[in-house]
Amino acid sequence: MNKLELSKRLIHEHQSFIDFISSLSNEDLMISHDNKWNPAQQLEHVCLCLRPIKLALSLPNFVPAILFGKSKNGSRSYESLVEAYQFKLNNGGKSPSMYKPKKSVRDVGKLKIDLIHLVNNISNKLSHFQENDLDSFLLPHPLLGKLTARELLYFAIYHVGHHQKQIEK
């Protein structure tokens, strides 16, 4: 996916998630099944995961290069990234505590607004990158290690749908 496709897909997938969350009753937002996070907690988790991406894309380009290096191999495909993430999850990978939602999420409306702002901000930051920069700058991911900026955006696109499917189950 090029920058424009990444941006459109990022916005679309997150808007679909918000629409789905909005279709749930207040009662359904707070119901948990099989000791999984309830929909409100899933929403908070998605927001928590996007904040570092927004921050990383806000840094001057030289900062990630100094902190994390540059990729010599470019980016994997979306499908390859998803496969690597699913492999980690299937082998016990869990969300680090900093990305875990509170036990009780109260303001779902504010979280939906926060999510819209985060996604729009990331999309705007993305427009300032050159295509080749997305394949060279490395950024950390807690389960997958260092990812290119493009791979991190692939993750954000997949991740929100992953959590929507968990809620739908």
This prediction's pTM: 0.93
From first to last of its 169 residues, what are the pLDDT tens digits of the chain? 999 999 999 999 999 999 999 999 999 999 888 888 999 999 999 999 999 999 999 998 889 889 999 999 999 999 999 999 999 999 999 999 999 998 887 799 999 999 999 999 999 999 999 999 999 999 999 999 999 999 999 999 999 999 999 999 8
pLDDT score of 104: 81
How far is residue 42's CA from residue 121's CA, in Å, rounded to a whole number? 20
Delineate the domains of the chain, giving CATH numbers in brackets. Answer: 3-168 (1.20.120.450)
CA angle 135, 99, 3 (to 5 degrees): 25
